[in-house]
């Protein structure tokens, strides 16, 4: 009776798990100073606290990038990574939305803190604070 080694299967599974989320063309981003102000505001509205300095900021060229939800303008990764489409790096709601995921350390959009507490969704963000660019139906997702 031949016994097959499970090593190749285990090694392949480990390799897949290590790949993670990595959109094409992504590059490190040095967060602008205003991001710390936005972090403080997000901590205040959520009642949560975290370490801003452990976040790895990543910029992805363009208006959106593929993610598990479709085409996203922002994405939070549990490895303390925040991905932002380059067209959206100056949009307070987009950046703070992903910051809130980092503070919660989870995906999903429970209210509170999303919506009730922190108006950090397209539906709850005050229209008076909307800034360019304006989201299109195909590039509106925050993950």
CATH number assigned to the domain comprising residue 116: 3.30.2010
Question: Is residue 81 domain-resident?
Answer: yes
pLDDT digits (tens, 9 = 90+) for 50-108: 999 999 999 999 999 998 888 999 999 999 999 999 999 999 999 999 999 999 999 99
Question: Is residue 78 domain-resident?
Answer: yes
- Domain extent for 75: 21-129+136-142
- The number of folded domains in the chain is 1
Q: What is the pTM of this model?
A: 0.80
Angle at 62 between CA 56 and CA 68, to 5 degrees: 65
**Cα atoms found within 13 Å of the Cα of residue 46, Cβ hemisphere only:** 25
Which pLDDT value is given to residue 127?
73
Which stretches of the chain are assigned E, i.e. beta strand?
A: 27-28, 56-60, 65-67, 70-77, 81-85, 141-142
Question: Is residue 25 domain-resident?
Answer: yes
């Amino acid at each position: 009776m031949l016994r097959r080694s499970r090593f190749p299967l285990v090694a392949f599974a480990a390799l897949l798990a290590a790949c993670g989320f990595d959109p094409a063309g992504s590059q490190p981003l040095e967060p602008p100073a205003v991001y710390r102000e936005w972090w403080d505001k997000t901590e205040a509205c959520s009642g949560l606290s975290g370490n801003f300095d452990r976040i790895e900021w990543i910029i992805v060229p363009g208006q959106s990038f593929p993610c598990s939800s479709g085409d996203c303008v922002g994405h939070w990764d549990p490895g303390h990574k925040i991905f932002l489409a380059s067209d959206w790096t100056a949009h307070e709601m987009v950046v703070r939305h992903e910051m809130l995921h980092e503070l919660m350390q989870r995906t999903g959009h429970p209210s509170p803190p999303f919506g009730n507490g922190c108006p950090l969704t397209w539906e709850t963000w005050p229209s008076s604070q909307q800034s360019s660019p304006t989201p299109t139906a195909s590039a509106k997702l925050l993950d």
